[in-house]
């Protein structure tokens, strides 16, 4: 029997992490073609993620690089279309909410090829966010929607989305559970860090690299650095905008380059708490049972906020510092968050692959 042919399109490091368990399974049971758009800046760091995830090299490396959203989406669409017209797959698979996600989705549908979307149904309610636009359009275009949460299912039904929906959970949990025991703790020794003795911070979203929000976050971090160790693996765009706006990070903040996935797991699991604007890290923090402050005005993971496992700070500097300092000074508050029940689904990648095989061969 001829194997089904699936093309998976991705372009950022979070996508590599979340797709890794799916890629491994699809490689075993399908004619599986990997297309890496090169949306993220660092090829070498991407290569490290592939090695840590034990993934093979992509079949196509598009090397699109940075640029405006229109440039990225348009260029990726044209390059992916060429591959689709040559390969004529049974399905194009995309993940999440990036420009690579949207471009892959548009190229598939314009080429008459069914689309599958992993991480469907997430909504922040903010249409000013590029990611929100990407999510909504990709869900509308998808034939198969792999939904992370019950709230996501409700969002899709409310919007009248017509594709087949499957409530499966989030593949980030599969990736984390597979790799947690391999976490590389050399990074703790390298930066003289102790368990529960520091705050871990990540900032990368476009709205948080605008001057007002970035200034609020930097102001809060500088004040927190007077109280404890603050570890800040800095995103290239964030570093650039801090310099552009002539903001000053305290010398007491431990600024490090972006790390590999296994090192980052170690940084997460040993932190007193995490401050982030990343959607994926919100979910990973809950799986690791580490309190997480969300440096945004809204989030697509309100199920975690409502369960009391994460806290939405907004981007107001006084509110960020008030919540973070209160959590830092009270181990009891941190333990209270940890003790609240919440468990992510496991075996998500296996469910997705089984559904695809059934749907594409029936």
Catalytic residues: 204
Angle at 299 between CA 7 and CA 253, to 5 degrees: 100
Sign of the Cα pseudo-torsion (192, 318, 283, 65, in order): negative
Between the alpha carbon of residue 29 and those of residues 5, 75, 202, 353, the distances in Å are: 10, 31, 37, 9
Which residues have a Cβ under 8 Å from the Cβ of 42 and sit 6 or more positions away?
236, 258
- d(CA 361, CA 173) in angstroms, rounded, equals 28
- d(CA 54, CA 40) in angstroms, rounded, equals 20
Other C-beta atoms lying within 10 Å of the C-beta of residue 212: 12
- d(CA 305, CA 287) in angstroms, rounded, equals 14
Nearest CA-CA partner of 30 in 61, 63, 59, 54: 59
Residue that the structure tokens 């003795």 belong to: 197
Nearest CA-CA partner of 268 in 292, 239, 296: 292
- d(CA 155, CA 55) in angstroms, rounded, equals 33
- d(CA 348, CA 148) in angstroms, rounded, equals 9
């Amino acid at each position: 029997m001829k194997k089904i042919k699936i093309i998976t399109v991705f372009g950022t490091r979070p996508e590599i992490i979340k797709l890794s368990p799916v890629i491994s399974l699809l490689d075993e049971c399908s004619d599986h073609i990997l297309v890496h758009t090169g949306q993220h800046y660092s090829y070498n760091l991407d290569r490290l993620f592939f090695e840590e995830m034990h993934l093979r090299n992509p079949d196509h490396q598009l090397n699109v690089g940075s640029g405006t959203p229109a440039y990225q989406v348009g260029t990726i669409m044209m390059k992916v279309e060429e591959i689709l017209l040559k390969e004529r797959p049974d399905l194009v698979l995309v993940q999440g909410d990036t420009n690579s996600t949207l471009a892959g989705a548009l190229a598939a549908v314009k080429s008459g090829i069914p689309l599958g979307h992993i991480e469907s149904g997430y909504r922040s309610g903010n249409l000013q966010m590029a990611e929100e636009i990407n999510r909504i359009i990709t869900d509308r275009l998808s034939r198969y929607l792999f939904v992370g949460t019950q709230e996501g299912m409700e969002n899709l039904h409310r919007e009248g989305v017509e594709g087949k929906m499957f409530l499966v959970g989030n593949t980030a949990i599969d990736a984390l559970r597979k790799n947690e025991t391999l976490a590389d703790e050399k990074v703790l020794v390298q930066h003289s860090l102790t368990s529960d003795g520091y705050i871990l911070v990540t900032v990368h979203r476009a709205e948080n690299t605008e001057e007002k929000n970035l200034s609020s976050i930097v102001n809060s971090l500088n004040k927190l650095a007077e109280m404890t160790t603050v570890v800040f693996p800095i995103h290239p765009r964030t570093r650039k905008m801090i310099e552009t706006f002539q903001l000053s990070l305290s010398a007491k903040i431990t600024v490090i380059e972006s790390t590999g996935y296994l090192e980052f797991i170690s940084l997460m699991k040993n932190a007193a708490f995490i401050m982030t604007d990343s959607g994926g890290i919100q979910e990973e923090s809950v799986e690791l049972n580490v309190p997480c402050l969300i440096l945004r005005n809204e989030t697509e993971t309100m199920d975690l906020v409502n369960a009391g496992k994460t806290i939405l700070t907004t981007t107001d500097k006084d509110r960020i510092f008030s919540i973070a300092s209160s959590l830092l000074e009270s181990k009891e508050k941190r333990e209270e968050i940890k003790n609240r029940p919440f468990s992510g689904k496991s075996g998500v990648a296996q469910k997705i692959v089984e559904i695809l095989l059934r749907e594409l061969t029936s």
